[in-house]
Every structure is written in structure tokens, then in C-alpha cells.
Amino acid sequence: LIQKVLRKDKSLELNISIVFNGDGLLFRITLLLSGGATMLCLRWRIMGTGPPAFTEVDNPASFADSLFVRAINYNYYYSLNAWLLLCPWWLCFDWSMGCIPLIKSVSDWRIIALAALWFCLIALICQALCSQDSHKRRILTLGLGFLIIPFLPASNLFFRVGFVVAERVIYLPSIGYCMLLTYGFSLLSKQTKKKKMLAATVLGILLINVLRCVIRSNQWRSEEQLFRSALSVCPLNAKVHYNVGKNLADKGNQTAAIKYYREAVRLNPKYVHAMNNLGNILKERNELQEAEGLLSLAVQIQPDFAAAWMNLGIVQNSLRRFEEAEQSYWTAIKHRKKYPDCYYNLGRLYADLNRHIDALNAWRNATVLKPEHSLAWNNMIILLDNTGNLAQAEAVGREALELIPNDHSLMFSLANVLGKSQKYKESEALFLKAIKANPNAASYHGNLAVLYHRWGNLDLAKKHYEVSLKLDPAAPGTKENYSLLKRKLEQLQKKGDA
Ligand SMILES: *[C@@H]1O[C@H](CO)[C@@H](O)[C@H](O)[C@H]1NC(C)=O
Ligand SMILES: *[C@@H]1O[C@H](CO)[C@@H](O)[C@H](O)[C@H]1NC(C)=O
């Protein structure tokens, strides 16, 4: 086996030297060193000198006060890793949070796993060091080396890592594991007489593992399956419930999402992201009291959580507690400088309070930060229009359409303004363009009809009133205007008859 491995290594080296036309050992070492240095540099550029800051939920054991608890739990994690190599049945995208409860006393039965792990490891290490057979010593040493050394950075021994168990960190150690396993089988097959049975067993195990691989690969195909598959492996992990909930919410299934978010918050009462999302959904379903409770708790736990501050502001705004809402919006903006949506909501609050200049400024800020913020543009145009500043409304509308030329709601708003300013021709063109982009909006047809009505183009007005009423028979005002128009048409007809 060793020789085979070495030969493989040779051919690899050959490939490299062909590709790079290199010069043996020196070249390889230079390549490795410069590659390593580049990676270190990149890491430094991206993350600076400090280690990343992990929180207790990422790796609960490393935050335990007692050395004993830490050591026991680290060792328990190692035995879990070893078990996953042996039997990859429990696979999960995330093992953090409450997935693996801490072992806090020796009476916990999971201690047995530690004993089993160390028994096997010590036995293997003894064989690797003291066996008579030098061939065996070399294979075992190489196998154990491949198994243990790549795992050391993930072992929490040198620094805190940001995970509990992670399948990705056992990719490399699995090389050593495979070597040890094949060597074990070769020893067994030398000793046993039932060679066929052994071969059948090995093939059976291989087949089961291939099947497992197929099943797992399929679970990775979609977020939904991946998250759901974790529910049975890590039912205590709040992050799993959060992700299942988020996935459901993204698909529009709010009722089910609420259930999972609630479970996530129950499992981890400090889970601010789950609280924020849950609060958001409850807000949309108009369960404002509970939403406010959750969002206030979230910002109490994490005072710089900008999104939660903004959502809290929206809820307070809906509860008509305007001063608190304004405070919340400004706090959100303090913690996230570039927050166009928050400026947008702030503008809506000011508009509700009839503070028109402030509202316009806030929406202007939103569009400075995000020029394609169509809602903010629209609100500016509508507010200016409603307050009689037609010239300004027109200017803003043109500015907006320059930035987002294909937005039909902007065309519609500007067309309304132009119609009021008696620029009928241009208004008509814009209405028609907006209708072409979004043919099923009753208000688009209705307002175009009003334009024709005023312009004196009564037949076209009639036609578009009719389309509008067909799309939305209950639209207020349209019916009245339509009957006005019909009466006028009848009068005209009578006049013509007379
Ligand atoms: C708009 O942004 C400016 C500059 O960031 C800021 O001073 C001002 O208070 C903001 N106004 C509103 C109403 O959002
Ligand atoms: C009805 O017509 C009047 C004047 O023509 C117009 O101001 C109003 O917006 C119209 N209402 C609707 C709902 O179209």
C-alpha cells in the first residue's frame, strides 16, 4: 500500500513538473511556500490580525467556565467526528446552538463515547509505535497522521473554532481513515478463512455508503430538503428551525413559518434574528402587540440590530405611536448608515404627520442611497402633486424616469401630473406606455379615461372607463365618472338628433 501511495505521489510530481517545467524538490517547496504566503496575505487583507469573534451559540463548549467541562465536551466532539467517519448517518448542515447539549457531569452516559474513542486511538497508536512489523508500523503511522494532523486545527486545542461539529473538517482526515480501514480489512482477510463472506460484507458496506451518499446529495439539491433533513438530526438546534421557517416564509407559507420561528425562539430565547423575522410576519398579519413585544426584546438584546429597529418603527407607526416610531427609525439609521428602506419608512411617517418637507427630504435621502427606489420616487411625486406643487412633481418624475426608465408605476404617476398640468399629449403617451407594461391595472385605465374625459375625447374615455370597470368593478369614483360621461354622451346624441 505504501508503495502504491508513493508511486501515486511520483506521478503527481511528474504532472506538476511537466506543467510548470519545474526543478524537483526545491521547486515544489518554493511553490508551496509562496502559495501558503499568498493565502496568509489574503487572509490578513480580509480579516486583519485578530481571530474572528465567535459567540456562545457557535461553540458552546469553548465558552464553558470549567476546564473539565471544556475538555470533556471537546473530547465528546472528537468522538462524534469519529462516529461520523464510521457511520455517516447523522448528517446536518449545522451542529451549533443547542444541537449537542453540553456534558456537565461524569454521570452523563455520553462519557462512554469518549472512553471508546480513546481506547481505539490508544490501541492504534501503540500498534503504530511498538509493532514488530515495520511495514505495519509505517502504514499505521501514516494513516494516523492523515487522520489526526489535518483535524488538529479544528480541535479547539490551539484556538477557538466557530463550529461544534462540521462535516467539512473531516474531509481530509477521511484519507487516513480510509487507509486504516483498508489495512484493517487486509489484515482480517489474511487471518480469516471465510474470505468470501468478508468480501461480501465489505461490498455490502460500500453499497450502503454509496446509497447514503446518493440520498445525502439529493438532500443538498434544495434548501428546503437540506433544512428539513436537519430536523431529525438536530431537533434542539434553533438555527435549524429558523432556517426551515425562513425557507417557508420565502415561499409565502406564513402560518407554517410562524410555527418554526416560534420553536426557534423557544429553543434559544436570545435568538434575535428569529425574533426579528417572526415579528415581521406578525406585523404583516396585523398582530401588532406581539410583534412589538418581540422586536423590542430583540433590540434590547442586541442594541445595534438596525433591521429590528426599523421593523419596530413600522409597528409603532401602525400603532399610531409616532414619536417612538421616529426614534426607532433614527436609531436604525444610526446603526446602519446606508439604509434606504428606513429613510423610506421615515418619510411615510412624516407624511402621515403632515410634515411634508421632512417627508420629501427622507425620501430624497432614500433615493440618493438607492436611485432605483421606485416607491420613494413615487411617494415624492404623489406628495408634491397632492400639495399642488405640480411643476416640482413633474421635475421629480422626470428625474426618476431618467434613472428607472422601465418602471410603469413612475410613468403612471408622472402621467397623472402631466394630465393635471394640461400637457395632455405627453400624458396620454405615458399612460399608454404604462398600460403596455402593465395592462391589467384598473387605475391606469381609469385615469387615462379621466384624461380623455377632460381632454374632450369622449369615445376613448368611454372605452377606458369600461376596461377599468371590467378589471375592478368596485373602484370608487370610476363608476360615477362613467355615468357622468354616459349622460353627457346621451345629451350630445339628443342634441345631434334634434
Ligand atoms: C437626510 O440625510 C442627511 C445627510 O445624511 C441628514 O442630515 C438628514 O437629517 C436626512 N434627512 C431626513 C429627513 O432623513
Ligand atoms: C372623476 O373625474 C374627476 C374630474 O374629471 C377627477 O378629478 C377624478 O379623479 C375622477 N375620479 C376617478 C376615480 O377617476
Provide the whole-model pTM. Answer: 0.79
Domain contains 465:
no
Q: Specify the ligand 2 atom closest to the Cα of 447.
A: 14
Residue with CA at minimum distance from ligand 1 atom 1: 365
What pLDDT was estimated at residue 155?
93
- Cα(328) to ligand 1 centroid in Å equals 15
Q: Is the CB of 425 under 6 A from ligand 2?
A: no
Report d(CA 99, CA 241) in Å as an integer. Answer: 11
How far is Cα 322 from Cα 88, in angstroms, rounded to an integer?
A: 55
Has residue 422 been placed in a domain?
Answer: no
**Taking the CA of residue 455 as centre, how many other CA atoms within 13 Å lie in the half-sphere pointing to its CB?**
23
Average pLDDT over every residue of 108-126:
95
Residue 166 within a domain: yes
Final residue of a structural domain among 191, 219, 245: 191
Pocket probe for ligand 1: among 339, 364, 365, the residue whose CB has the most ligand atoms within 8 Å is 365
Alpha carbon nearest to ligand 2 atom 14, residue: 478
**Residue 468: CB within 6 Å of ligand 2?**
no
The highest-confidence range among 37-51, 187-201, 240-254, 435-449, by mean pLDDT, is: 240-254
The atom number, within ligand 1, closest to the CA of 346 reads 14
Q: Read off the pLDDT of residues 3-62 as tens digits, 9 standing for 90 and up.
A: 444 444 444 444 444 444 556 889 999 999 999 999 999 988 888 877 788 888 889 999
Least confident span in 11-20, 103-112, 144-153, 365-374: 11-20
Q: What is the pLDDT averaged over residues 58-68?
A: 91
Alpha carbons within 13 A on the beta-carbon side of 75: 20
Grid cell 398582530 is found at 287
Number of independent structural domains in the chain: 2
Phi-psi region of 441 (alpha: psi -120 to 50; beta: other; left: phi over 0): beta
The owner of cell 473554532 is 161
Q: How confident is the model at residue 275 (pLDDT cuts 50, 70, 90)?
A: very high
One domain for residues 96 and 22 = no
User: Which residue out of 337, 342, 361, 379 has the highest number of ligand 1 atoms within 8 Å of its CB and is therefore the one to mutate?
Assistant: 361
Classify residue 47: in a domain, yes or no: yes
The ligand minimizing its distance to the Cα of 343 is 1
Average pLDDT of the residues in 283-297:
94
The number of the ligand nearest the C-alpha atom of 339 reads 1
Residues 93, 187: one domain?
Answer: yes
Mean pLDDT over 236-244 rounds to: 95
Q: Are residue 78 and residue 25 in the same domain, yes or no?
A: no
If asked whether residues 38 and 94 sit together in one domain, one would say no
Q: Is residue 45 part of a domain?
A: yes
- Least Cα distance to 57 among 83, 90, 94 occurs for 94
| 114 confidence band (pLDDT: 50, 70, 90) | very high
- Cβ of 450 less than 6 Å from ligand 2: yes
* Pocket lining: 478 vs ligand 2, CB cutoff 6 Å: yes
**Residue whose C-alpha is closest to residue 292's, from 304, 278, 303, 306:** 278
Q: Which of 179, 167, 146 is nearest to 213 (CA)?
A: 167
Atom number of ligand 2 nearest to Cα 478: 13
- Confidence at residue 457, expressed as pLDDT on a 0 to 100 scale: 82
Single out the residue in 141, 169, 191 at which a domain terminates: 191
Identify which of 412, 452, 458, 481 to mutate to test ligand 2's pocket (most ligand atoms within 8 A of the CB): 481
From the CA of 477, give the closest atom in ligand 2.
Answer: 13
Ligand 2 mean position to 265 CA, how many Å? Answer: 50
- Kindly state whether residues 25 and 128 are assigned to the same domain: no
Between residues 47 and 1, the one the model is more confident about: 47
Domain membership of residue 406 (yes or no) is no
Burial of 336 (0-12, 13-18, 19+ CB in 10 A): middle
pLDDT at 498: 64
pLDDT at position 221 over 90: yes
The yes-or-no verdict on residue 192 having pLDDT over 90 is no
Rounded Cα–Cα distance for residues 276 and 294 (Å): 7
Tell how far the Cα of 280 is from the centroid of ligand 1, in angstroms. 26
| Same-domain status, 23 and 105 | no
DSSP state of 51: P
Q: Which ligand is nearest to the CA of 461?
A: 2
- Please give the pLDDT value at position 12: 45
Q: Which ligand is nearest to the CA of 485?
A: 2
Residue at 228 is within a domain: no
In the prediction, which pLDDT does 110 show?
94
Q: What range does the domain containing 34 cover?
A: 17-51
Position 32 in a domain: yes
Q: For position 14, what pLDDT does the model report?
A: 45
Distance 400 CA to ligand 2 centre (A): 25
Whether residue 455 has pLDDT greater than 60: yes
Query: Which of these three, 143, 159, 191, is where a domain ends?
Result: 191
Ligand nearest to the CA of 479: 2
Mean pLDDT, the chain, rounded, equals 90
Residue nearest to ligand 2 atom 4, measured at CA: 450
Are 186 and 143 spatial neighbours (Cβ–Cβ below 8 Å)?
no
Q: Are residues 37 and 81 in the same domain?
A: no
* Same domain (yes/no): 132, 45: no
pLDDT at position 23: 66
Residues 257 and 281: their CA atoms lie apart, in Å, by 9
Q: Which residues line ligand 1 (CB under 6 A)?
A: 343, 346, 358, 361-362, 365
Give me the pLDDT at residue 56, please: 87
Give the residue whose CA is nearest to atom 11 of ligand 2.
Answer: 477
Whether residues 29 and 93 share a domain: the answer is no
By mean pLDDT, which of 68-72, 290-294, 480-484 is the weakest? 480-484
Residues 124 and 174 in one domain: yes
Q: Which ligand is nearest to the CA of 368?
A: 1
Query: What pLDDT sits at residue 181?
Result: 93
Out of 234-248, 393-407, 466-480, which region has the weakest mean confidence (pLDDT)?
A: 466-480
Among 409, 384, 414, 419, residue whose Cα is nearest residue 397: 414
State residue 399's pLDDT score. 94
- Say yes or no: 34 and 98 in one domain: no
Residue 36 sits in the same domain as residue 112: no
